[in-house]
Structure 1
């Protein structure tokens, strides 16, 4: 895994390094964009490229170096999604540093430019996210794999991008309505996270390798429940996680008012008083540490946290059982077992 991650990092650095001169030839004023992207790409666990690579190997793909570049292109897609997500959520940090829109707000203020610093930061972040989206396609198309392999993979890539954008809209919609149920929250999880993070990267690698339909179906049986478990763990960390590990302030999901499965499970079990307290303070950007502690206590006391942990265990077990029966090589099975542990326990 460490070798693969190093190869993915090198492929990213090489691609971005080749793009840099063209931007700086346009204008030296574009240098801060590249610096912001460099900072964002320096973090991350490279899960999506790893799942793509092992989807390729599970389907019989060999050691063609083009697969690493194709898989690494998913990090640029992820960078686009993170940048845009932070703008929509008004997030201050990402991976332990200022989010892109906050970074450019600060630049605006530091330069003493006229106008609205917040609008400048948000607009710049949207453009950098769009650039990353365009570059993800370019990196995929120039990965070195032959035309027929890329044609097969392109169909999966297109579906994946459509699904994650639809999932993002559904996520915003649930937050706006303020009435998410466990069922609707799980729908968001499926399309915003589970398919995008694990199932479709696996399918992409498998398609590039020319997978047998039985292998693709087996990868769904493993990838979809694992992706749900991954996002449910993320929901728990968004409330109870250590900022040193998550790279975001404690309780940030509560300040952002995210209508997660964890919140829906809590509201299902809450008394009228507990539900009122949670609904009143959820989404308050000024929520302080005592407020976070109060909401954490409600989530634990109602059994919402325990119910979410039980769901994580259930979906992770489904993934392990599907992987055990999958018609793939033992090498791929072992690697995907390790990735499952990393995704759910966040050990990688």
Structure 2
């Protein structure tokens, strides 16, 4: 089966519907691959020691907790748009590996951010710490919880490498870049938060390599290479860099002004952790008192939100997001893609930047 979808189907549905069906089928196979791997690992460790099951079960709970599968979707779309065959198990393995890497990053990110909630549930390190405390075990509950969560995050990283090893070899260079960048991006994020100095250029770099490239740019390019279409890489990079930055800027706005009931995690973490996002960097350039406010003991997120709104920067960030989406879609205008895939990528850009379903 190929991805030739330029004519309407016999049932009366158009090319866009065919695109979605092909993509959804591959995404379902990604889900099946993730579940199959975790089920097999559970069976294996059940024969060793039942306590080991807590690691696999905690990971499985997070994998199946309702993630949007953004990275696998971009990887698969990049592959199909490049003419990849929908019956190739290699692209499924690559996309599944990408999601497992993302889960690893989430677990570690929650520890670094001291976040208590993820997808509406206690974060993994919090749940382990609570279990330690409630059981009356020896040692410090916080250290126990964070230690076990780090190990489960590492386990997810091992599984991600195991899955991607089944992908076409052409994706591996991009995969290795993706893995190193997300770690370096996280490293710089923690470092910049400690320095807490206004440096919009560094904030933008962190946003790109910690989130934007690993979410959109590199998954798309991996898809192109898996399909044997390295000629599409330049267009995918230009689109992915722009839309990836828009994606991260939306995250920054949601952290500052979002509703935790909708986002599934606490808001205002960037404030409490002193994360030097582009939003905060721009705002501090206009109002030096924001820095003083954020470092003052006892300040509230609402005080910071109010001050941010007074600078006008949130509206500027919204405009920048819109410009980035337009820029990203324009990068595909002359790319050798079927019109239906160009349209699909344009719609995906909007969903990434505005979190539309």
**Aligned-pair CA distance for 1:11:** 2.3
Matched, 1:337 2:355: no
Query: Which moved further from structure 2: 193-202 or 319-328?
Result: 319-328
**Aligned-pair CA distance for 1:275:** 4.1
Scaled by the length of structure 1, the TM-score of the pair is: 0.91
- Which position in structure 2 is the counterpart of 1:31? 53
CA pair 331-19 structure 1, distance change in 2 beyond 3 A = farther
Q: Deviations over 1:247-301 (max 9, x none)?
A: 112322222221111110110111x444422x324xx6x76xxx12111111100
Separation (CA, whole Å) in 1 of partners of 2:26 and 2:119: 21
- Which position in structure 2 is the counterpart of 1:187? 205
**Aligned-pair CA distance for 1:309:** 1.3
- Which position in structure 2 is the counterpart of 1:251? 268
Separation (CA, whole Å) in 2 of partners of 1:225 and 1:211: 21
- Which position in structure 2 is the counterpart of 1:100? 124
Structure 1: unaligned runs, 5 residues or longer: none
CA pair 276-332 structure 1, distance change in 2 beyond 3 A = same
**Aligned-pair CA distance for 1:70:** 2.0
Separation (CA, whole Å) in 2 of partners of 1:261 and 1:131: 32
Match of 2:196 among 174, 178, 181: 178
Structure 2: unaligned runs, 5 residues or longer: 1-19
- 1:26 aligned counterpart, secondary structure: coil
Contact 1:59 1:212 (C-alpha < 8 Å) held by counterparts: no
Contact 1:193 1:231 (C-alpha < 8 Å) held by counterparts: yes
Q: Deviations over 1:162-199 (max 9, x none)?
A: 11111111111100111032111001011111111100
- Which position in structure 2 is the counterpart of 1:296? 305
- Which position in structure 2 is the counterpart of 1:157? 175
- 1:44 aligned counterpart, secondary structure: coil
Contact 1:269 1:303 (C-alpha < 8 Å) held by counterparts: no
Separation (CA, whole Å) in 1 of partners of 2:325 and 2:56: 38
- Which position in structure 1 is the counterpart of 2:321? 312
Contact 2:129 2:142 (C-alpha < 8 Å) held by counterparts: yes
Match of 1:46 among 66, 69, 74: 69
**Two-structure CA RMSD over aligned residues (Å):** 1.6
Scaled by the length of structure 2, the TM-score of the pair is: 0.89
Match of 2:295 among 258, 263, 280: 280
Q: How does 1:70-219 map to 2 (within 5 A)?
A: 70-142=94-166, 150-213=168-231, 215-219=232-236
